[in-house]
Chain A
Amino acid sequence: MGGGRGGSNTHFPSSGEAFIENLKAAKSTFEFDTTTGKFGAPGRRPTSARQMLNREPMKQSMKLYELLAKGGISETMPGKSGKRVSFEDGTHISWRPASGSGSPAIQISPGILARDYLTPHKIHFEKEQ
């Protein structure tokens, strides 16, 4: 991943630049692979899926979502099945307390600005044994 575009810290809260600031905060707290531009460690197939193991998967998944979602245009997902947020560059993120595999999951899809910093991926939060 490249260094991307620079900028000041005073951005409109839902701008793509503001999301990049959120991303910096999230990267300082959660495992992030700068080579692939993805959080977590490689999971099983599919290759776009990642995995984060910890003692409190629900709490940690919410924490990562909240760091990334700060200032964005957020809403509750239909059926109250989770939360989702979007930013002006098209970056969009959703959090589900229970994905198809049963574990909490976050999907991150970068928009035009954020593409320089990360790639689209889904992260499954699983309980550390």
Chain B
Amino acid sequence: MKRILQCLPPSSTDALVANLGQRWTGIGGTKMPQPNFSWTELFVATESSNLRFFVEMIPRNFEGESTEYPELKVESPPAGFITAVAAGKAYFQGRGEKIRAIWLLRDSVRCTEASTAQFEFVVDVGVVFQLETDCVAVTVASFVSDGLSVLRADCRENLEIARLEDFWQSELTIRYDYSRQWILLAGNPEDA
């Protein structure tokens, strides 16, 4: 069975964790046509740092034919959000609230064909910031595009995050099993 791991490296998770306790500034990006969606990249700004979330389309061949899958990446460049502000593409909902917890969303899909395991795809699909009054998620918008979604809800359970079941649907002889892990990277959600 092929096992494909597409997970954020420690340099990315370290950059995320460094924002625990920081005050939220906003989300923006010049490729963000509306507050809940961006093509390719967007920036999350806190009082002390700047996170760049971006998607690269990576060709992979684990389903029998090479195709491109979006890979979420996170880095901490010195600037980026300020460009979005200058372009009028920045959204400040939640400004001033402290980040109480940071979660990583890790999904997996396992394919079985005629009782034989074919592949397992383990993929980091997004990051959730728990603020004082709501949760903000930045996730891959789809497994067939380089879009990023921005979702908000009063608690993480209410975030309408895209499901793997929409992309890999079981058929007569092929079965897909799915799972989703909420990995607490930093913080104590009980503090919120």
Contacts and interface: CB of A to CB of B under 8 A. Distances in A.
Contact of A112 (B59, B145, B160, B171): B160
Interface string A12-44: 000000000000000000000000100000001
A64 to B, nearest CB: 15
A68 interface: no
Contacts of A107: 142, 144-145
A100 B67 contact: yes
B177 interface: no
Nearest to A73: B33
Nearest to A74: B33
Contacts of A73: 33-34
Interface in A72-113: 73, 75, 84, 86, 88-90, 92, 94, 100, 107-109, 111-112
Interface residues of A, number: 27
A121 to B, nearest CB: 6
A49 interface: yes
Task: Decide if the interface of chain B is mainly helix, strand, loop or mixed.
Answer: loop
B37 A122 contact: no
Of A36, A73, A109, chain B has the most CB atoms within 10 Å of the CB of: A109
A100 B65 CA distance: 11
A111 B168 CA distance: 17
A90 B166 CA distance: 15
A120 interface: yes
B63 A47 contact: yes
A7 interface: no
Given A44-B65, A84-B39, A86-B37, A36 B144 contact: no
Contacts of B39: 75, 84, 86, 92
A87 to B, nearest CB: 8
17 contacts: A45-B63, A46-B64, A48-B167, A48-B168, A49-B67, A86-B33, A88-B34, A88-B36, A92-B39, A92-B141, A100-B59, A100-B67, A100-B68, A109-B144, A109-B147, A111-B37, A120-B143
Interface of A: 36, 44-49, 73, 75, 84, 86, 88-90, 92, 94, 100, 107-109, 111-112, 115, 119-122
Given A47-B171, A92-B141, A119-B169, 14 more contacts: A44-B64, A46-B64, A46-B65, A86-B39, A88-B34, A90-B36, A92-B39, A92-B145, A107-B145, A112-B160, A119-B167, A120-B143, A120-B144, A120-B166
The 7 closest A-B pairs by CB, nearest first: A109-B142, A45-B64, A46-B63, A45-B63, A73-B33, A107-B144, A120-B142
